[in-house]
């Protein structure tokens, strides 16, 4: 039996495949609001880069050809950037996040990215997103993201305080101190 490709069958097939072709009439939500896993502007702050699609085409930031990376706790923390893509004339993502790659398992860490204002103002740095905990056996821990298209950002890691609070937390050693990349 031979299948006949009538215009109606071809039109139905084209409509069925349309969502996978990348064709879209979406122009992006107004005022930076996130929609359907995509984010714009500061609506990206505090979200998981994988959930928003911002890890697509992402890379470790470079300064003068050198990876923006700091070595700490038997591994390294690096500043990642998700450039996003043009959707309806607007660019999605444009975010940074911290990724800590460690050797071995067993300790918990706090990992965060912080945005710095274009002009340095005393006390203006703020820890915007943080992930605390283990790596679930992968050796990689990453923070949530921040929109930082036009301001420097830096990635940081510290050993988690192991349940210590108050004065006990202050008793941490220099070996537990936070380690950050340069701000770029």
Question: Per-residue DSSP letters for 31-87?
Answer: GG--BTTB--GGGGTTS-TTTTTTTTT-EE-EETTEE-EEEETTEEEEEEEE---EE
Lowest mean pLDDT among 50-54, 80-84, 124-128: 124-128
The SS3 assignment for 25 reads: coil
- Assess whether pLDDT exceeds 50 at residue 30: no
pLDDT tens digits for range 35-44 = 457 899 999 9
**Measured between alpha carbons, how far is 14 from 115 in angstroms, rounded to an integer?**
45
- Greater pLDDT, 137 or 6: 137
Can you tell me which residue has the tokens 């990724």?
A: 99
Report how far residue 139's alpha carbon sits from residue 74's, in angstroms, rounded to the nearest whole number. 11
Contacts of 151 (CB under 8 A, 6+ apart): 115, 116, 117, 118
pLDDT in tens, 63-114: 999 999 999 988 999 999 999 999 999 999 999 999 999 876 667 788 899 8
In this prediction, residue 176 carries a pLDDT of: 77
CA distance linking residue 111 with residue 48, whole number of Å: 13
pLDDT of 17 higher than 80 = no
| CA–CA dist 19, 22 (Å, integer) | 6
Say if CB 94 and CB 100 are below 8 A apart.
no
- pLDDT-derived band at 11, boundaries 50, 70, 90: very low
């Amino acid at each position: 039996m031979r299948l006949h490709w009538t215009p109606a069958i071809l039109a139905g097939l084209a409509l069925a495949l349309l969502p996978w072709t990348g064709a879209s009439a979406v122009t992006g939500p107004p005022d930076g609001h996130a929609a359907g896993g995509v984010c714009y502007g500061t609506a990206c702050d505090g979200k998981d880069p994988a959930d928003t699609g911002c890890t697509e085409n992402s890379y470790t930031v470079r300064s003068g050809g050198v990876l923006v990376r700091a070595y700490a706790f038997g591994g390294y923390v690096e500043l990642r950037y998700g450039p996003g893509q043009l959707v309806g004339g607007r660019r999605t993502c444009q975010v940074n996040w911290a990724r800590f790659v460690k050797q071995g398992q067993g300790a918990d860490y706090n990992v965060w990215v912080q945005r710095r204002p274009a002009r340095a103002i005393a006390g203006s740095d703020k820890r915007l997103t943080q992930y605390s905990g283990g790596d679930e056996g992968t050796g990689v821990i990453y923070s949530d993201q921040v929109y930082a298209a036009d301001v420097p950002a830096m990635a940081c890691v510290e050993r988690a305080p192991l349940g210590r609070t108050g004065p006990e937390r202050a008793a941490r050693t220099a070996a537990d101190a936070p380690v950050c990349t340069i701000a770029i």
